Amino acid sequence: MVQVQALSKGEQTRERLLDIAQDAVLHKGFAGTSLDEIICEAGITKSGFFYHFRDKNDLAKALLQRYLDNEWRVFEDLFSQAEELSDDPLHSFLIFLKLFADLMSDIPNGHPGCLVASYVYQDYLFSQEVRRMTTEGHRIWRVRFRERLDRIAARYPPKIEVDLNDMADMLSAVADGGIILGKSLAEPAVLSRQIMQYRAYVKLVFGG
């Protein structure tokens, strides 16, 4: 049993505001999301909102930070689960990808959308700080996946010449693209299937 720190009333309200805002932003964009609708849905006044966030950009930043932290935790968790199930770097990575795909297919109405992708398509709306956070997010994922691929390549020489950075990026790309396709086609299964396609690629490149 994991001991979760109880949230104070203020933190609860803040989380609720973030939940509502994220949902709205992923469907209407940041500029299209009005503070009025957020506070209305949260049952709070405008002044109450500004007690929690300096301004709208501060909300954007908090939203992204929370999203990145969550993603980090999820991947951390999946990686450690996968490592418990196999010592072999390739098998472990393949298990990780399967777990990832399963997790994505378990989301009730499909993945709600990647906040980072959404921000990338609205970069002029945000401060440099926030833009740097999206860049950093993608860079971190590249490094994390790359580490795994390096370990795999050390034991299983690739069957074809391949740049491991590109291959690491491909997982991010396939995930971002899969989310978009899944939303657009109203076929939530697309995302997990795309991850499995990536998995098949990894298998072919390193596997026998």
Contact stretch for a second copy (CB under 8 A) within 47-55, 66-74, 133-141, 149-157? 133-141
Nearest residue (CB) to DNA, 43 versus 157: 43
Residue type, 116: V
C-alpha 107/C-alpha 146 separation (Å) is 27
Residue 95, binding choice from DNA, a second copy, none, Cβ under 5 to 8 Å by partner class: none
Contact 82, 95 (CB under 8 A): yes
Among 27, 55, 143, 166, binds DNA (CB under 7 A): 55
Residue type, 2: V
Angstrom distances, CA of residue 154 to CA of 62, 77, 149, 160: 39, 24, 8, 14
Nearest residue (CB) to DNA, 33 versus 92: 33
Tell me, by CB under 8 A, how many residues bind a second copy.
54
Minimum Å gap between C-beta 85 and a second copy is 22
SS (H, E, C) 108-137: CCCCCCCHHHHHHCCHHHCCHHHHHHHHHH
Residue 117, binding choice from a second copy, DNA, none, Cβ under 5 to 8 Å by partner class: a second copy
What length is written for the chain?
208
Farthest CA pair distance, the chain: 62
Angle between helices 56-85 and 9-28 (to 10 degrees): 90
Binding-residue pattern over the window 9 to 48 for DNA, x denoting contact by CB under 7 A: xxx-xx----------------x-xxxxx-----xxxxxx
The reply on whether position 57 binds DNA by CB under 7 A is: yes
C-alpha 126/C-alpha 192 separation (Å) is 31
The reply on whether position 28 binds a second copy by CB under 8 A is: yes
Applying CB under 8 A, the residues found at the interface with a second copy are: 26-32, 113, 116-118, 120-125, 134-135, 137-139, 142, 159-160, 162-163, 166-167, 169-170, 172-178, 180-181, 183-186, 190, 193-194, 196-197, 200-201, 203-205
Residues that bind DNA (CB under 7 A): 8-11, 13-14, 31, 33-37, 43-48, 50-52, 54-57
